[in-house]
Structure 1
Amino acid sequence: MFVIVGLGNPSREYKGTRHNAGFEVIDRISEKYNISVNIKKHRALMGKGMIHGKKVILAKPQTFMNLSGESVRSLVNFYQVDVATELLVIYDDVSLGTGQLRIRAKGSAGGHNGIKNIISQIGGQFFPRIKVGVGEKPPKMDLADYVLGHFSKAEQQLMEEGYEMAVCAAETIMEGRIETAMNEYNRKKKEE
């Protein structure tokens, strides 16, 4: 069993915001593999299916970002997954360019409250993650206002490319090839 969790905030008002990049990637995995994410369990919207012959759970915590760990803890405990090899968390990152990815096998929260709560709830930072860049916050702008804001048309195009790359990276990580995913997707995009 492999659990893929995308972070975001529930409710329509947050749809398409920077903070919901994780939800967006889950939606694209769900669509690609025809896995309905509509079961309400473990404080999440979730769905079960198969990807490349492996059982998978896709989950979008419904706890709001800062309490994401409550849902993740419930999922990993119930399905008894090894967080180091069978859990993948996908979320937004304001320190990366729009649509860029950074994949890590482990690490600190880096100021992300959703990840901070997951680390606290599962008792460690040794779980794979895909950070999806949402662009740097403009100077003097409040961080909360920025991450809860929407993308421009130009940014949205870059995000679509980033979401598609994140789907491919997730598939590679599920195959147990996180080093390959890191080598492939952690490169900076060439300036056009």
Structure 2
Amino acid sequence: MKLICGLGNPGREYERNRHNIGFMVVDALLGRARADLNQDKFQARVGQGTLAGERILFVEPQTYMNLSGRSVAEAARFYKIAVEDVLVIHDELDLPLGRLQLKAGGGSGGHNGLKSIVSSLGADGFIRLRFGIGKPEGPNARERVAGYVLSNFDDGERRELDALSDRAIDMAECWVRDGLATAMNRFNRKA
């Protein structure tokens, strides 16, 4: 069994925020896996399905971003899922919109959801699907990051999201079926 987690914040007011792209991709993945998030466990919405012939536990933490690790760690421990069998889909400021990247391990890059997962799992070797959202530019850009990630995608960006989500789904499925090295070689080129 593998665990696929999408990061985001619960609640309608956050539904379309850049920070919630992990939830959006997992919601789209559920269709391919013929699954539903039909249980509330581990302080998360969870469900099981099959992707590329493998049983998958889908997790959307409901703890808000900064405490996402609690849900991921509880679910992984309960189902005895190894750290390297955990895929976390998250927004990435350091990649432009349209750029998606798979990687294993690494730091949090200032992402509080990743920081929480590393802390709660006690390891950073989980797989990340980094979904580029770009970042604010210009003066005081650093101070505007929180507002930026909690803002909705604009109309032009929304038009790109379906194709990008489809690509993210293909990446996750390839990781499940063929492993990380193959998925990285196939998908980590610039789009």
TM-score (structure 2 length as normaliser): 0.94
Q: 1:144 aligns with which of 131, 143, 146?
A: 146
CA contact (8 A) 2:2 2:56 kept: yes
Note if 1:160 corresponds to 2:156: no
**Number of residue pairs the alignment of both structures matches:** 188
Gaps of 5+ in 1: none
Q: Is the 8 A contact 2:53 2:177 kept in 1?
A: no
Specify the alignment match of 1:30 in structure 2. Answer: 30
4+ residue stretches of structure 1 with deviation over 3 A?
A: none
The residue aligned with 1:65 is 65
* Partner SS, residue 4 of structure 1: strand
Gapped regions of structure 2 (runs ≥ 5): none
Letter in 2 for 1:74: E
Deviations 1:106-153 (A, max 9, x none): 111111110011001111111111000111223324111000001111
Following superposition of structure 1 onto structure 2, how do residues 33-52 of structure 1 map, counting pairs within 5 Å? 33-52=33-52
Q: Which residue of 2 aligns with 1:113?
A: 112
What SS class does the counterpart of residue 164 from structure 2 fall into? helix
The residue number in structure 2 matching 1:184 is: 186
Q: Measure, in 2, the Cα distance between the counterparts of 1:38 and 1:18.
A: 24
Q: Secondary structure at the match of 1:81?
A: coil
Distance 1:73 1:121 in 2: 6
Aligned partners of 2:162, 2:136: CA distance in 1, in Å?
A: 19
Structure 2: which amino acid aligns with 1:169?
M
Identity of paired residues, percent?
Answer: 39
Cα shift at 1:158: 2.2
- TM-score normalised to the size of structure 1? 0.94
